[in-house]
Structure 1
Amino acid sequence: MKKDIMKKNLIKNKLIFILILVVGLVLMAAFSEPKIEAKPKTKTTAIDRSIAAHPSQVTRQELKLLLAQNPDSSDFKLAERKIVSAVLPHHLVAAPLLLEVCTLLAEQKPKCLIVIGPNHENKAAKIISGTYGWQTPDGVLATEEDAVQQLWQKGLAVINEEVLATEHSIGALAPLLKHFVPEAKIIPIILQYGVSLQEVDALLNGLEPFLDGDTVLISSVDFSHYLTRSEAEAKDRVTLAYMNNFDYPALFALDDSYLDSPASLAAAFRLAERRGIRSFTVLGNTNSGRILQNDYLETTSYFTILFTE
């Protein structure tokens, strides 16, 4: 009897031991099982491209409001002609003027837009470009990277994305250009105030391989600054007289009470001259005081000009 009880206890203890062993092994397996780490998220092409792009200077709502404005109408028709170069403001108060030119660009469908404007802060190098695109509400406005690299390799421009990112002479136009000419690429160039006519000519020489019939050069220029409406209009008459005469020495002698970048303006004129064009169409000329109907503002004035062939 006593032996039977001992035997039963022994079996019971063995079962308990086996149970503990099994539970222990299960727990060991659970805790010692190697963790399978999640695969690192790979960046898609779209994400990569957005990182290599400057932030948009216009929100979706702001772009919507700009597009809702009525474009100026000068009754100008492209017909069989093509825009070779143009002068546009970068102050978005001038949206009606901008929309008229952008509508013409949409009709022409250029593949490349060379946009040359002032480096307002005169930061870093005299001539700056970059390979990053621009974020816009309609997607990224991509750059013509080969052209930018060639300018850099020839010593004609310095690549500086940091300065370019905050420069509104390019950034303000980017959303409109992307909206109206969605397939076009941009060659962005900003110039310090001291860039000479000779340097503009050298820059155009460097851009020559890209200056075909599918390219339009845009000079992004605002004209008189910090004046009353009547003072701005008087200054604009002087500037227009110099432009009509292609008087570069006189234009380069003007300060920002007349225009913010003589060198940027000259680029559109010099390219036209290379094509044998010595006349232009003024689509619009106004100022912020007139647009906002306020004669007491310190105004900015605007021209929209086209060279066609």
Structure 2
Amino acid sequence: MRKACVSGLFYPADGFQLKRMLEGLFSGIKQNGCLAVICPHAGYVYSGKTAAFAIGSLEKQKTWVILGPNHHGLGHSFALSLEEWETPLGRVTIDRELAKKLQLDFLAEDKLAHLQEHSIEVILPFLQYRFSGFKFLPISILNVDYSEELLEKCIKLGEFLTRFEVGLIASSDFSHYLPAEEAEKADKMAVKAILELDPKKFFRVLEENQISVCGYGPIACLLAWAKKLGLKAEVLHHSNSGEVTGDFGSVVTYWAIGFKKT
């Protein structure tokens, strides 16, 4: 059992309080046919509304693959978790049958990679509140550079996942600790490559402009998946931490981007 490691920090540890918070965050948000999304993973007080726009746009799926960055540098670089996960809203079952079918030489089970990592965990309560009866498969990706090797693995994983009927969620925040105006300019360059479904351009734009999108590996996987399926991308919502703190001199930015059939 993988127990929650950031409940009480990123979101309420009490199930009743968490449900009340999610009810407020989802208020007025309607499903609009998305099969996949990019979703932020900060504390709910900062990125919760944007995350609700992301998860709220999704169609119901039997299995969700959640791709998240490994912030701590622990464990395998492309790591599966095969144990049940628990949040204050209950337990979520792993799709072990799907895991068995992901025969990629760079993908391995590794509990350590997920043990202290928040990027996948914080998305689960949104899914639990919105949907019932689903399974999921968490994949942690260690981003250490913008190497051709990492990009190739991300593309390979994304394209391989098109063989299965799953929904995808790429967990990522965008610019970190920049003045709001600078962050917006940087984000627009990254988002342009995302809307073009171009993982190679996305990597290049981030590296050349030093844009601090923490989940660039997961996003590249999703872009390869969406491109192969012929989907289109659209911006659903975006925000920054300054809107909560009042400090626009140093913000973290959050984007909800959906992917749907054309």
Q: TM-score, normalised by structure 2?
A: 0.83
Q: List gaps (5 residues or longer) in structure 2.
A: 8-12
Aligned to 2:228: 274
CA drift of 1:124 comes to: 2.5
What CA distance in whole angstroms lies between the structure 1 residues aligned with 2:247 and 2:178? 12
Bigger helix share: 1
Match of 1:286 among 232, 236, 239: 239
The residue type equivalent to 1:259 in the other structure is V
CA drift of 1:149 comes to: 3.2
Which of 1 and 2 has greater Rg? 1
Aligned to 1:95: 48
Aligned to 1:160: 110
The residue type equivalent to 1:242 in the other structure is A
What CA distance in whole angstroms lies between the structure 2 residues aligned with 1:132 and 1:77? 29
Q: How does 1:197-216 map to 2 (within 5 A)?
A: 197-209=151-163, 211-212=164-165, 215-216=166-167
**Match of 2:75, SS?**
coil
Percent identical: 23
Q: 1:237 to 1:60 in 2, by over 3 A?
A: same
Aligned to 2:176: 225
The residue type equivalent to 1:249 in the other structure is K
1:107-150 Cα offsets, whole Å, 9 max, x none, are x3211111001111232322011101211122101111122233
Q: List gaps (5 residues or longer) in structure 1.
A: 1-51
Question: Is the 1:150–1:206 Cα contact (8 Å) retained in structure 2?
Answer: no
**Match of 2:71, SS?**
coil
CA drift of 1:286 comes to: 1.6
Give structure 1 regions of 4+ aligned residues with deviation exceeding 6 angstroms. Answer: none
CA drift of 1:223 comes to: 0.5
The residue type equivalent to 1:183 in the other structure is G
Q: How does 1:2-151 map to 2 (within 5 A)?
A: 52-55=1-4, 57-58=6-7, 59-60=13-14, 63-64=18-19, 66-71=21-26, 78=32, 82-91=33-42, 92=44, 93-105=46-58, 108-151=59-102
Aligned to 2:10: none
1:154-178 Cα offsets, whole Å, 9 max, x none, are 4241211122121111111122222
What CA distance in whole angstroms lies between the structure 1 residues aligned with 2:24 and 2:31? 20
**Match of 2:119, SS?**
helix
Aligned to 2:150: 196
Task: Give the count of matched residue pairs.
Answer: 246
